[in-house]
Amino acid sequence: MISQVFILSSKGDHLIYKDFRGGAGNDIVSIFYEKVTALTGDQPPVVMNHKDIYFVHIRQGGLYWVATTTAGSSPFTITEFLNRLAALVKDYCGSLSEKSVQMNFALIYELLDEIVDYGYIQTTSSDVLKNFIQTEAVTSRPFSLFDLSNVGLFGAETQQSKVAPSSAATRPIQSSREQGGKSEIFVDVIERMTVVIGSNGLLMKADVEGEIRVKCYMPSCSEMRIGLNEEFSIGKSQLRGYGAAVRVDECSFHQAVRLDEFDSHRILRLCPSQGEQTVMQYQLSDDLPSALPFRLFPTIERDNGGRLLMYMKLRCDLPPKSLSQELSSPDQSAELKPQSRAVVWKIARFAGGTQLSALFKLEVPSLSSASMLEVGPVGLSFELPKITATGLQIRFLRLSPIQPGPSQRWVRYVTHSDSYTIRI
Amino acid sequence: MPYLGGEETVRELRRALSNPNVQSDPLRYRNTILKVIRTMSQGVDVSGLFSEMVKACATVDVVQKKLVYVFLCSYATLNPELSLLVINTLRKDCQDPNPMVRSLALRNMTNLRLPSLVEYVEQPLTAGLRDRAACVRRVAVLGWAKLHNLHPSSEIDAAVVNELYSLLRDPDPVVMVNCLRALEEILKEEGGIAINKPITHHLLNRLKECDIWGQSEVLRVLQRYRPQSEDELFDILSLLDSFLVSPHPPVMAATLSLFLSISSNLPVISLAALERVSGPLLAACGSGSREMRFAAVCHIQLLLRSVPGLLGPHYKRFFCGYAEPAYIKERKMQVLVELVNDENVAMILDELKGYCTDVNTDTAQAAISAIGRIGRSYSDRCLQILTGLLGLKQDHITSAVVQTMRDLVWVCPQCSDTVCLALDGCEETLQDIQGRQALLWLLGVYGERISTAPYTLEVLIDRVRSEASLGIKMELLTATMRLFLCRPAETQDMLGRLLHYCIEEETDMCVRDQALLYYRLLHCGIEKTREVLQGRRSDPSLGVLIGRPAKPVSQWARCFNTLEPLSQGAVEAESDSRGSPEHVTYNSKPNADLSDTLSCSHIEEVHSGSDSAMRCSDSSTNVLASSIAAPLSLSLSPAVSPEDFEHLWLQRQALHTERGNEMEGYIEN
């Protein structure tokens, strides 16, 4: 049961406040914000309480999404609800930011009104909601097809803010109705890699969490068939086909997916609803089919002048693209962040099969041989377009019946670094 | 948030709202209302516009209606009379052919939260229960719960309750779940909805139709059900099996809760369920949402209490990502400590070692104390890492290492040799109070083996005048006393100086009192002093440590899937700041800064304060000895009034100065 829901900007401005059960003072928002800001640590805990009122909050799009509830509530339900709410707001407003929430407050109130009644979650399905939501989304910038040229990815949460979200899929789902055009569907295979490489260069851990997301802008729902690699196999024992197997450890599907052709032909059938949904999630541990995308060869030394020398050689082991233009001098930059005691080396583009080196010289007061131990680890954050670490591919994407009018289907692959750590 | 120019804005909005030109142009009208809501969201009090907004309610434009309702529901309680005007419009809307308008009107009618309007609302709500459209029935069902909570004392019509029970068979799953919710609230006094066999089986059979929110709600309510036979129990369990491995964490968690509650007297079933659920829980640990990860990791900690070895092979899933927030890292490290076994200990320690130099000091210290906990079973490897960390000469790392070593030595006395060797030179790096306190404790207890101990203490004693921390002073007193017992020749002089300072110049009562206590203790002879001060060097309750015993599931089943596991700090009773470890084992109070032995002797002294000083110190000695032997419970308020206390205190003070001078001579000798 949820008593209140509110959305705050990172500076504590009240963007949305909805009281479902009544009886709570209006100062509850300020109490929450005081609690958040009173903490010294960078990230406040997910659950905080003030007397009997429990605050559960998530951070998305730089905003605090907060629900107040009682101690007996399920943390899974409340967190999932807040995540879902944020996803819906993103679907309806196009993007998640302080600005978009501010501009679309009426729409968000309307959404909240339909999603939750008296503190009980009614529905979060966009199929149901689309019948009820009447307010138009306001976007700051009109959607333009030119933006499609640099198709990045919509929902992919990257740690790097520098990876700009493509605007192709950051438009409100409802605008298609009025613009009368574009019925599009995006199918994204998104993988997140978690890798730890030991100081001896050995791979200590490699995990891949992947998902297939569908974002649908089609007004009318038709059946979609997604074909995966024929040799896709789940679990350790079962291997299929003769080619290199594409294997995952565990795999789960959205409840709307029908799997009657999955066992024989690896085909997922579903009727996508408007907006974004995760069709399939899978996970693979330790046994990656391909080589790791990046290897780092670090050398750390102390020179006579008491300076720390860090020589980094970074190699990208992805297959080289035949027509890669940006080989020799990608624009790079390096910066020392004293606050986090880190050197940030930014590489805009990195072609497969190439290698980059850097030498960092650091003036460290009272550098001792012991403080060499403190250097490291190296964390890599990256986004690899058109590549999946598991090798999962989408063979085909068919819509039936054939859509009248023009429709476009997009299939995109991307691998993110969730945490790619190299110990020194 | 007060907003300058708020009144001006309100006046302008009122002018716009009552402008006939605006009213006749739907788009302008709607935009003006939008402005009102926006101003309201910013925290300006716009309640003055209530009557204008009531007028705006009568419109065919659904968007405008919704906006006005947002306004009305926020301010209705301030304007009960004017709200009566809205009721007519709302009641009319309840007859509207469009089901969306009907449900909207019904919902907002009940959201006004005005007890005076109840009589007008009951009739549309009754009609709403029989509406053709499911969306209206959903709202009507919950409407009854809202109505009931406006008048919690009044009896709700039995006919309505019966109707709600019958609506459990509604074809729409959301209506069914809402009925459950409404009945739970209405019948709260009777313990909620009656969960009998037919209802249970009906709900279970329809579980698949619900969405995940409905499923978790139904599963939660069903926890009250007790199957009548074992066959029925197994039927239910097998029916629920697919939900147990649901990819949606809310459903998975609710199912496990239900499993644990209905099979509470079949431990085998519970354990099997835990095993089954570990897959989805692990998947949730890798979820994209870090808040979800956190919830999952916290619940895994609960599971591990009963099945310590459950996730051993998956320990790598609990390695921290470098971009993860500190609160997740901390929990993951706690899990890693639980998962250590002979095969993975090297890998886990290697990983934890990497976190010890984290930029975030909390994470670094948590990693160090995690290594210390592993050290209880694998002391050699861990001590090697800890000793290595001392070489970094970072104050927060050194402090955490010294504290960890102190805790380790307390449970594993065999580590003391290595620790004694490692401590040399730490005092220069240590800055914070906890770290120095830990060092002092170690110096006191293992002083005979640390060659530099007297010199370290001497530096501190020379600086005691500028020492601000109470804890340090008291620990210093104890450490010096202990060292005096084993190395009298080197320590005698500095002990005299320290006691002199503490008794003569120190203003803090606790320190003075402790110094006086030690002073008199010395008077009683060296044997007596040794008896009191050289207590245990290790925790007597711990034998050889081979894993932790599995606790029964029932111990934590109740708080599974609640906020409790997320909000409590460390699972273990490992307090963050404290003095010496021997106090901790007897002490459940969070502030261990005031050492217990002291405060209890203190109270005791007050009671017997008028007696002679000699007897008094005797009695406190006995108390001290007994405090080591048996757990104490402290009374927080001594039964002495402030005036009496002052009187006693002054009396005793006079005595002390007298005796103090005598004793000074004794030590000097």
Name the range with the highest mean pLDDT among A134-148, A398-412, B145-159, B517-531: B517-531
Chain B window 542-571: which residues touch A at a Cβ cutoff of 8 Å? 561-567
H or E element, residue A48? strand A47-50
Distance from the A77 Cα atom to the nearest Cα atom in chain B, whole angstroms: 5
Mean pLDDT taken over chain A: 80
Distance CA B464, CA A292 (A): 58
A113: contact with B, CB 8 A cutoff: yes
Residue A231 pLDDT level (bands cut at 50, 70, 90): confident
Using the predicted structure, report yes or no on whether residue B625 has a pLDDT greater than 60: no
Highest mean pLDDT among A18-32, B61-75, B621-635: B61-75
What's the pLDDT tens digit per position in A402-412? 666 667 788 88
Residue of A nearest to B558 (CA): A72
Pick from B168, B229, B225, B216: nearest CA to B196: B225
Q: Is there a contact between B254 and A74 if contact means CB atoms under 8 Å apart?
A: yes
Mean pLDDT confidence for B564-592: 48
Q: Does the beta-carbon distance from B563 to A73 stay under 8 Å?
A: yes
Residue B555 has a CB neighbour count (10 Å cut-off) of 11
State whether residue B154 sits within 8 Å of chain A by CB: no
Q: What is the 3-state secondary structure (H, E, C) of B90-108?
A: HHHHCCCCCHHHHHHHHHH
Report chain B's terminal Cα–Cα distance, integer Å.
71
The nearest alpha carbon in chain B to A125 belongs to B211
Quick check: A372 and A300 in contact, CB under 8 A?
A: yes
Q: How many CB atoms lie within 10 A of CB B45?
A: 15
Q: B351 and A71: CB-CB below 8 Å?
A: no
State residue A42's pLDDT score. Answer: 60
Minimum mean pLDDT among A366-370, B170-174, B372-376, B447-451: which range? Answer: A366-370
Distances (CA, A) of B369 to A228, A294, B333, B363, B385: 47, 33, 10, 10, 12
Predicted confidence (pLDDT) at residue B597 exceeds the cutoff of 50: no
Q: Is B394 on the interface with A (CB under 8 A)?
A: yes
- Tally the residues of chain B: 669
Give the mean model confidence (pLDDT) for residues A112-125: 92
For residue A198, which residues of chain B lie inside 8 Å, CB to CB?
350
Interchain contact, A47 vs B563, CB within 8 Å: yes
* Residues 31-60 (A) with a CB less than 8 A from some CB of B: 41-43, 45-49, 54, 56-59
pLDDT digits (tens, 9 = 90+) for A53-92: 899 999 998 899 999 998 889 999 999 999 999 999 988 8
pLDDT over 50 (residue A178)? no
Judged by a CB distance cut-off of 8 A, whether residue A303 touches chain B is no
Which residue ranges make up each domain of chain B?
Answer: 589-628+643-669
User: Which tokens hold the place of B102?
Assistant: 């009907």
Is A209 within 8 Å of B284 when comparing Cβ atoms? no
Cβ within 8 Å, pair A135-B212: no
CA–CA separation, A414 vs A187, rounded Å? Answer: 11
pLDDT average, residue stretch A144-154: 44
Residue B153 confidence (pLDDT): 73
Give contacts of B 51-90 with A, CB under 8 A.
Answer: 62-63, 66-67, 70
Mean local confidence (pLDDT), A108-129: 90
Interchain CB contact of B402 with A (< 8 Å) = no
B393 close contact with A: CB closer than 8 A: yes
Residue A176 has pLDDT above 50, yes or no: no
pLDDT in tens, A11-63: 888 888 888 987 777 788 888 988 888 876 666 788 888 888 899 999 998 89
pTM of the model: 0.82
Distance from CA of B463 to the nearest CA of A (A): 26
Residue matched to tokens 């955490």: B400
Nearest CA to CA, how far is A371 from chain B (Å)?
5
| Across A193-217, average pLDDT | 87
Q: Contacts of residue A120 in chain B, CB cutoff 8 Å? A: 142, 177-178, 181, 217
pLDDT of residue B540: 58
Q: How far is A421 from chain B (nearest CA, A)?
A: 7
In tens, the pLDDT along B641-658 reads: 667 777 777 777 666 555
Strand order of the β-sheet with A14-19 is A14-19, A2-8, A63-69, A53-60, A47-50
Length of chain A: 424
Which residues 170-189 of chain B have a CB within 8 Å of chain A?
Answer: 174, 177-178, 181
pLDDT over 70 at B17, yes or no? yes
* All residues at 6 or more sequence positions from B209 whose CB lies less than 8 Å from its CB, including other chains: B173
CB-based contact B294 A46, cutoff 8 Å:
yes
Average pLDDT of chain B, as a whole number = 81
Contacting residues of B for A277, CB less than 8 Å apart: none
B267-285 vs B249-262: helix crossing angle, rounded to 10 = 170
Q: Does the beta-carbon distance from A46 to B327 stay under 8 Å?
A: yes
| Span A157-169, pLDDT tens digits | 443 333 333 445 5
- B191 pLDDT above the threshold of 70: yes
- pLDDT for the residue A252: 86
Confidence of residue B254 (pLDDT cuts 50, 70, 90): very high
Among the ranges given (A373-382, A386-395, B358-367, B503-512), the one the predictor scored with the smallest mean pLDDT: A373-382
Taking one residue from A and the other from B, the number of pairs with CB-CB distance under 8 angstroms is 216
Q: What's residue B199's pLDDT?
A: 92
- What per-residue confidence (pLDDT) applies to B295? 93
Residue among A43, A134, A207 minimizing CB distance to B327: A43
pLDDT of residue B371: 94
Are A110 and B66 within 8 A, CB to CB?
yes
Chain B contact set for A421 (CB, 8 A): 321-322, 354
What per-residue confidence (pLDDT) applies to B382?
A: 92
**How many Cα neighbours within 13 Å face the side chain of B375?**
34
Q: What is the mean pLDDT of residues B532-541?
A: 70
Closest partner residue to B562 among A43, A45, A74, by Cβ?
A74
Q: What integer pLDDT is reported at residue B137 of this predicted model? A: 94
Residues 191-220 of A with CB under 8 A from B: 192, 194, 196, 198, 204-205, 207, 209, 211
pLDDT of the residue at A328: 45
Q: What is the C-alpha separation between B234 and B268, in angstroms, rounded? A: 13
Contacts of A126 (CB under 8 A, 6+ apart): A88, A91, A173, A273, A274, A275, A277
Restricting to B residues 503-542, those with a Cβ less than 8 Å away from any Cβ of A are none
Residue B259's H or E segment, with its range, is helix B249-262
pLDDT digits (tens, 9 = 90+) for B386-404: 998 888 888 889 999 999 9
Kindly state the percentage of chain B with pLDDT values over 90: 31
Given B41, B67, B359, which is nearest A17 (Cβ)?
B41
**Would an 8 Å CB–CB cutoff place B436 in contact with chain A?**
no
For the four alpha carbons of B432, B434, B437 and B442, in that order, the dihedral sign comes to: negative
Q: Which positions 270-299 of B are in contact with A (Cβ < 8 Å)? A: 279-280, 283-284, 286-289, 291-292, 294-296, 298
Segment A265-274 shows an average pLDDT of 87
The pLDDT of residue B311 is above 90: no
Q: Which of B213, B220, B316 sits opposite A121 (nearest CB)?
A: B213
Q: The tokens of B650 are what?
A: 């002054």
To the nearest whole Å, the CA of B607 is away from the closest chain A CA by: 38
Local confidence band at A315 (pLDDT 50, 70, 90 cut-offs): confident
The stretch A246-270 carries a mean pLDDT of: 86
Q: Cβ contact (<8 Å) for A120 and B142?
A: yes
Residue of chain A nearest B362, judged by CA positions: A41
Residue A122: which of B138, B284, B322 has the nearest Cβ? Answer: B138
Tell me the pLDDT band of A238, cut-offs 50, 70 and 90: low
Cα–Cα separations (whole angstroms), residue B330 to A43, A230, B318, B499, B660: 12, 42, 10, 42, 50
Which residues are paired to A332 by β-bridges?
A: A347
Residue B250: band (very low, low, confident or very high) from pLDDT cuts 50, 70, 90: very high
Do residues A416 and A193 lie in contact, with contact meaning Cβ atoms separated by under 8 Å? Answer: yes
| CA distance to partner chain B, nearest, from residue A393 (Å) | 21
B453 neighbors B441 (Cβ within 8 angstroms): no
Closest C-alpha among B372, B376, B369, B309 to residue B344? B309
Cα distance between residue B417 and residue A266, in whole Å: 63
pLDDT of residue A405: 65
Which residues in A219-248 are b (16+ Cβ under 10 Å) and which e?
A: eeebebbbbbbbbbbeeeeeeeeeeeebbb
- CA-nearest of B188, B219, B267 to B557 is B267
Q: Give CA separation, A389 vs A186, A221, A347, A423, B347, in Å.
A: 20, 32, 21, 21, 24
Map tokens 């990195």 to a residue: A350
Q: Which residue has the higher pLDDT, B616 or B108?
A: B108
